[in-house]
Amino acid sequence: MSSSLILRAEGIDKSYPGVHALDHVDFDLFEGEIHVLLGENGAGKSTFMKILSGSLPKDSGRITLRGQEVEILNPHHAWELGIGMVYQELSLIPSTSVAENIFLGRLPKRKPLGTVDWAETFSRARNILDDLGVDIDPRQRVRDLSMGERQLTEIAKALSMNVQILLLDEPTSALSEEERERLFHILRGLQEKGVAVIYVSHRLAEVPQIGQRVTVLRDGKKIGTLPVEQADEATLIRMMVGRELGEQFPKTEVPRGRELLRIRGLTVEGMLHDLNLTLHEGEILGIFGLLGSGRTPFARVLFGVDRMDSGEIFVDGNKVEISSPAEAIELGFGYLTEDRKEGLIPHLSIPANITLASLKQICQLGFLKHSEERQAAEKYVRELGIHTPKLHQRVEFLSGGNQQKVALAKWLCSRSKILIFDEPTRGIDVGAKAEVFRLMNDLAGQGVGIIMLSSELPEVLAMADRILVMAGGSFTAEFARGQGTQEDLMRYAVVR
């Protein structure tokens, strides 16, 4: 490589309680290079990006920028150093215009009073967007933009600050095929101008399309860096997962029992369209969908958090109305949210969290029986293998995998027969993942019906008895176990 080194990171280390998120990671980046950072969920990619962009402090390690050691203090400081980050969760303000977002905090001023020079704001935004080859009206409000257009607005914002290093965290997860092509085209254009890009992804197929080199992270460790010519899919998969998928997610066959749940024509105007499914005892039904496919809205409607406009739900053959989580729990539903923190009460102890959805069961004459609560908690801590220094530990101090188990214990305690897992392995390390899958298997074996919502192809393929693919709020395909390949599923998951 003839161009010069722009960024080097050495021995970057970062730990959270219970998780070693980054274990002495080395990384380098050349001018005009697109360097793909590949890894599974929880491999440490996002943590690494956050350290480079100044939104997380590193525990130890050195970062050198053009040969000079730097301490990146905060996101603003990163911008000043020429490092711009485009976040996975976009950081735009929906209620303001594209131009305002691009120049947020640095709107052009007009003398003498320092009022905003709107004409200048819009014309400069227009220029930046034109340079990118993007056709977005700078006066448009961000909330009216598509996901892809928002992403491009973020990139325009980064470029408006003369960024030399652009960090993109899973930029294509919410994009359509066409938008993705356009993004790649734009990135190549930036590359020609000498901008270096770190491109985070867990999509193997994207690597040769966009990158020059690829670095693989696994469980917080750097596994290796390769030029893309040497990085065929088999090699990358081996580097990413380390072992065979079958070994990682051992699925036990469970005979399917009677019907637990039937959904007919579930519709939420403009979001979910005519969804139909059935779920049986002992069945793991995978619903595969990318970000924005409607997975989570579907789960929320089913659990009574949000309302549906039309459709029918049958539990055990009886038509039911679910208008609140309390009613859903009464009917035997349990919902493990995508963001675990959303479902748990971090300040409360393990027992208090476990019994929260079934307080009536541990009550006598309207008073909590702490002894029964402790017994119930002890039982689940033992059965699920929750690792904790003491029973009455606050759940905020547990690792992600153990928090997930507490969340699961809550639904076991409330005797759920239908469990909805939304991204059950998000943010937990590989060992804990295998354990969560083992528990899913055990539950299926006990006759629980499981709806597993996921954007992780290998996990859905390995775990589900049946897979529904979701895109744009509809089910687009159904595969029996062993029928579909990753490519098949992905084809139906991309919105056309």
Q: Is 356 in the site for another protein (CB under 8 A)?
A: yes
| Rounded-to-10 torsion of CA 183, 189, 190, 196 | 90
**CA–CA gap between residue 35 and residue 52 (Å, rounded):** 14
Which of these ranges, 37-45, 249-257, 329-337, 480-488, lies near another protein under the rule CB under 8 A? 329-337
Interface residue with another protein among 305, 320, 434, 477 (CB under 8 A) is: 305
Place of tokens 């998000």: 426
Interface residue with another protein among 329, 418, 444, 462 (CB under 8 A) is: 329
Q: Is 425 in the site for another protein (CB under 8 A)?
A: no
**CA–CA gap between residue 486 and residue 199 (Å, rounded):** 22
Interface residue with another protein among 161, 291, 320, 352 (CB under 8 A) is: 352
**CA–CA gap between residue 454 and residue 210 (Å, rounded):** 25
Alpha helices of 93-212 — where are they, by DSSP H? 98-102, 118-132, 147-159, 177-192, 206-210
Which of these ranges, 62-70, 113-121, 356-364, 474-482, lies near another protein under the rule CB under 8 A? 356-364
**Identity at 151, one-letter amino acid code:** Q
Q: Is the dihedral of CA 105, 108, 113, 119 positive or negative?
A: negative
Nearer to another protein, 44 or 351 (CB): 351
Which of these ranges, 178-186, 189-197, 330-338, 479-487, lies near another protein under the rule CB under 8 A? 330-338
C-alpha distance across the termini of the chain, in Å: 38
Which of these ranges, 31-39, 162-170, 276-284, 320-328, lies near another protein under the rule CB under 8 A? 320-328
Which of these ranges, 76-84, 153-161, 163-171, 342-350, lies near another protein under the rule CB under 8 A? 342-350
Q: Is 17 in the site for another protein (CB under 8 A)?
A: no
Angle CA 129–131–137, to nearest 5: 20
Tokens of 106: 């640095």
CB of 170 to another protein, least distance (A): 22
Which of these ranges, 47-55, 186-194, 366-374, 437-445, lies near another protein under the rule CB under 8 A? 366-374
CB of 412 to another protein, least distance (A): 13
Collect all residues with Cβ–Cβ distance below 8 Å to 89 and sequence separation of at least 6. Answer: none
Site for another protein in 402-421 (CB under 8 A): 410, 414
**CA–CA gap between residue 405 and residue 387 (Å, rounded):** 10
Q: Is 322 in the site for another protein (CB under 8 A)?
A: no
CB of 77 to another protein, least distance (A): 19
Q: Which helix (H) or strand (E) holds 301?
A: helix 295-302
Q: Is 280 in the site for another protein (CB under 8 A)?
A: no
**CA–CA gap between residue 146 and residue 164 (Å, rounded):** 26
Q: Is 359 in the site for another protein (CB under 8 A)?
A: yes
Q: Is 368 in the site for another protein (CB under 8 A)?
A: yes
Which of these ranges, 170-178, 327-335, 421-429, 455-463, lies near another protein under the rule CB under 8 A? 327-335
Could you tell me which of 455, 426, 424 has the C-alpha nearest to residue 174? 455
Nearer to another protein, 42 or 343 (CB): 343
CB of 418 to another protein, least distance (A): 14
Q: Is 337 in the site for another protein (CB under 8 A)?
A: yes
Size of the site for another protein (CB under 8 A): 30
Nearer to another protein, 347 or 496 (CB): 347
**Identity at 76, one-letter amino acid code:** H
DSSP letters along 88-118, please?
SS----TTSBHHHHHTTT---EETTTTEE-H
Task: Kindly list the residues in this chain that would bind another protein in the complex (CB under 8 A).
Answer: 303, 305, 324-326, 328-330, 335, 337, 341-348, 352, 356-357, 359-360, 363, 366-368, 370, 410, 414
